[in-house]
Amino acid sequence: MLISVAIPKPIRNTFTYEALPGVHINLGSRVSVPFGNQTLIGIVVKKEANNERTLKRIRRINSVLDSRGDMPIDILNLCLWAADYYHHPIGDVFTNALPALLRAQETKTNLFVEKKLRLTSLGFELNQSTKKLSPKKKMLFRLIQEEEKTKEALFKSGIKPYLIRIFLNEGWAYWQTTRKKAEVKTSKLNISYGDLILNSDQKKVVAELSDRDENRPFLLQGITGSGKTEIYLRAIEPHLNLGRQALILVPEIGLTPQMVSRFEDRFCTRVAIINSSLTDKQRAQAWIDAKEGQSGIILGTRSAIFTPLKNLGIIIVDEEHDLSFKQQEGFRYSARDLAIYRSHIERIPIILGSATPSLESLFNAKRGRYKKLSLNSRPTESHPETYRVIDTSQFATREGLTQFALRSIQKTLNSGKQALVFVNQRGFCPILLCEECKQIATCDRCQVKLTYHQTTQVLSCHHCGRLKSYPAPCDNCGSSRWIHLGVGTERLEKFLSESFPKEEILRIDRDSMKGKNSMRMAIDRIKEDKPRILIGTQILAKGHHFPNITLVIIVNVDAGFYSADFRALERLGQTILQVGGRAGRGTHAGEVLIQTQFGNQETLQKLIKTGYQKFAEHLLNERADAFLPPVRYEVAIHSESPEQNLAIDFLQNIKRNIPKSKDLSLAGPLPAIIEKKNNRFRQKLILISKEREPLHKKLSEIERFIAKSKLPRGLKWSIDVDPLNMV
């Protein structure tokens, strides 16, 4: 038999091998194969009979790996579809989809066996005899006399490693290696809602979700705090009761311990977590557990969409508008969009939830592809927060804050509440201007501004990560006297602690939250009401429920109004409402102050006066007028090279050699928004069409053209289907 194998390399085609006679092989099996002079683990994507045309050059595989690590057919199909849709090398798709340990030779760790401590006959006799034993020893005897136990289970019962060593040394017990059993849990749940009663909006949504004639994806739009998570819990429950599993995708920073415990508490079940902080072993274990049906709920970030599930019942994508669902480099897939496809092929329901849905999803709801559900009020409060713009072209700011904002903070503190100051910039200030020659400090590798970090006394490039110690001399004139322009979290922290010397202030950004538990500890402190002034970036803006915050100040959102990215306003609206939603989630009315020079801007006024829906409709109309996504489909081809003209020529060549078609428009080559990054020049070619079909056809043509061309050294290219970031 011949098999086609996808190799874990950025190669677009698969390779044919001969299978081992008599050894069973599945689609999705992992096989060890010779590749050049390497040995690699590949995935079987096709099988065909070897009808006697045995070609000499076909090599035989080395071995077939443990079938419990096989990729199930659903996931195999999802990967094949994704490789096709995103025009990405299939081998690299599998690299993203399969945990690293399952892509490795099995010698290092064996995931499929476990060691359990078991009594020897000597131990058995001793246990039966009347001999006096210490309570600790008795306890260990009792634990393992009926059933052997794993090390983890023993540790959980309070057994210390030294005690196990004694048992082994005395010959009372030994480690028995067994093949792990795949036990499937299908327990009937015993749910308690406490005194929580759904409000009328929620009841309506739950009823709509259980409509059996509805097979479209659901888009659940509900303001922050309106009880979306409660809806997810209700939607999942019947599936768990039937022994089916739920897959819940959350944004990278949305996966908080609070989120996890809400699911654990409700269903008294183990929730498997899949995110980037897992070790390779934990990740592989979570994958296998899910595949074998041992975890009822899988809660994970982007890559969790590839988790195999024995009996998947429902998929939920929380905060579906969040950018982190789209991988921005390498295999540029959207986990949300793959989730939609997966629900379609597995014929199961899917809920996309958000307070501020993406224009893509709203557009899909508008044209009837998704079924829209809404939650319009918060069950726990009577006053939604109010939004107010402070026009900074009229009122002066000091260190980024207006007098009005400072007075509002004071008032909030006087009434015993907490205030949150949001600024989407970490560090002290984003711009350093040379006092002598008026040149701005930039990264010489990226041509972008350097950010000054006062706490660590460095200048940092937020694009390539390069650090310079401060004060560095000006590249242009050598002076070391800098003017600090703009406001970051550190600067606000300094200013606010001078203005409110008696108050505890907490800064929450990526720099201050580096420690493993720092975020959890910070959240606990906020809930205990210890810091009364909070300063934070995006990472504080999502998912958290802080009932005592009644004032949110959003500092300087001006960049959203003049960005070259046509999605900037959509993002800005989402950020304002997500951050603003932190105010007034308790029983007191919250207030949100937005400081900007663009206070009279029409779209901003729409947002704060009429809400997200009207704001989004307005933006959708603008996109339609400008022939932009989501009303049109878009693909970007990126090129980058140490030499600018090579990056341009590459795209120019594509444009020249690919015949024009009327159902498709082409723009570029254009410089990327960050034109130079890490000493490489970046260019892009944009393809836009009313339909997907012509775009994909054209991309295939382009791929063939590139495959035939000789690329200059150092040139890299990539395709981004449905790009979200104008990079």
Task: Return residues touching Zn ion (CB under 5 A).
Answer: 434, 436-437, 439, 443, 445-446, 461, 463-464, 466, 474, 476-477, 479
Q: If residue 287 lies in a helix (H) or strand (E), which one and from where to where?
A: helix 280-291
Q: If residue 651 lies in a helix (H) or strand (E), which one and from where to where?
A: helix 644-657
How many Å apart are CA 602 and CA 207, to the nearest integer? 37
Nearer of residues 70 and 230 to ligand ADP, judged by Cβ:
230
Q: Which of residues 363-392 bind ligand ADP (CB under 6 A)?
A: 379-380
Stretch that binds ligand ADP, among 89-97, 221-229, 298-306, 403-411 (CB under 6 A): 221-229
How many Å apart are CA 258 and CA 252, to the nearest integer? 14
Stretch that binds ligand ADP, among 195-203, 303-311, 558-566, 569-577 (CB under 6 A): 195-203
Stretch that binds ligand ADP, among 14-22, 191-199, 594-602, 628-636 (CB under 6 A): 191-199
List the single partner that 434 binds among ligand ADP, Zn ion, none, CB under 5 to 8 Å by kind. Zn ion
Residue choice 70, 92, 230, 385 for contact with ligand ADP (CB under 6 A)? 230
202 binds ligand ADP (CB under 6 A): yes
Q: Which two tokens stand for residue 292?
A: 């074998």
List the single partner that 114 binds among Zn ion, ligand ADP, none, CB under 5 to 8 Å by kind. none
Q: Which two tokens stand for residue 19?
A: 């299978």
Instruction: Determine if residue 268 is left, alpha or beta; phi over 0 gives left, psi from -120 to 50 gives alpha, anything else beta.
Output: left
DSSP symbols for 261-282: HHHHHHHTS-EEEESTTS-HHH
List the single partner that 476 binds among ligand ADP, Zn ion, none, CB under 5 to 8 Å by kind. Zn ion
357 binds ligand ADP (CB under 6 A): no
List the single partner that 477 binds among Zn ion, ligand ADP, none, CB under 5 to 8 Å by kind. Zn ion
Q: With CB under 6 A, what is the number of residues at the site for ligand ADP?
A: 16
Nearer of residues 113 and 477 to Zn ion, judged by Cβ:
477
Nearer of residues 380 and 479 to Zn ion, judged by Cβ:
479
> 197-227 burial by CB neighbour count: b if 16+ within 10 A, else e?
ebbebbeebeeebeeeeeeebbbbbbbbbbb
Stretch that binds ligand ADP, among 72-80, 224-232, 341-349, 562-570 (CB under 6 A): 224-232
225 binds ligand ADP (CB under 6 A): yes
Length, in residues, of the chain: 727
How many Å apart are CA 693 and CA 700, to the nearest integer? 11
Measured CA distances, 225 to 74, 247, 549, 586 (Å): 35, 22, 13, 10
227 binds ligand ADP (CB under 6 A): yes
How many Å apart are CA 428 and CA 490, to the nearest integer? 5
354 binds ligand ADP (CB under 6 A): no
List the single partner that 464 binds among Zn ion, ligand ADP, none, CB under 5 to 8 Å by kind. Zn ion
Stretch that binds ligand ADP, among 228-236, 564-572, 620-628, 640-648 (CB under 6 A): 228-236
224 binds ligand ADP (CB under 6 A): yes
Contact call for residues 305 and 75 (beta carbons, < 8 A): no
Query: What's the min distance (Å) between Cβ of 682 and Zn ion?
Result: 13
Query: What's the min distance (Å) between Cβ of 650 and Zn ion?
Result: 23
590 binds ligand ADP (CB under 6 A): no
Nearer of residues 42 and 486 to Zn ion, judged by Cβ:
486
Measured CA distances, 345 to 307, 349, 479, 722 (Å): 15, 11, 63, 21
How many Å apart are CA 476 and CA 552, to the nearest integer? 41
Q: Is 227 helix (H, G, I), strand (E, B) or coil?
A: coil
Nearer of residues 332 and 542 to ligand ADP, judged by Cβ:
542
Query: What's the min distance (Å) between Cβ of 260 and ligand ADP?
Result: 13
How many Å apart are CA 258 and CA 547, to the nearest integer? 14
229 binds ligand ADP (CB under 6 A): yes
How many Å apart are CA 76 and CA 117, to the nearest integer? 37
Q: Which of 214, 201, 223 is nearest to 369 (CA)?
A: 214
Looking at the DSSP assignment, which residues form a beta bridge with residue 507?
535
Query: What's the min distance (Å) between Cβ of 699 and ligand ADP?
Result: 38
Nearer of residues 379 and 694 to ligand ADP, judged by Cβ:
379
Residue choice 100, 196, 268, 521 for contact with ligand ADP (CB under 6 A)? 196
257 binds ligand ADP (CB under 6 A): no
226 binds ligand ADP (CB under 6 A): yes
> 421-441 burial by CB neighbour count: b if 16+ within 10 A, else e?
bbbbbbbbbbbbbbeeeeebb
**Cβ partners under 8 Å of residue 635, min gap 6:** 686, 687, 688, 695, 699, 719, 720, 721, 722, 723
State the binding string over 536-565 for ligand ADP (x if CB under 6 A, else -). ---------x--------------------
Stretch that binds ligand ADP, among 223-231, 437-445, 479-487, 568-576 (CB under 6 A): 223-231
How many Å apart are CA 448 and CA 673, to the nearest integer? 10
Query: What's the min distance (Å) between Cβ of 343 and Zn ion?
Result: 40
Nearer of residues 120 and 447 to Zn ion, judged by Cβ:
447
DSSP symbols for 296-324: SEEEE-GGGGG---TTEEEEEEETTT-GG
251 binds ligand ADP (CB under 6 A): no
How many Å apart are CA 541 and CA 308, to the nearest integer? 31
Q: Rule CB under 6 A: which residues touch ligand ADP?
A: 196-199, 202, 222, 224-230, 379-380, 545
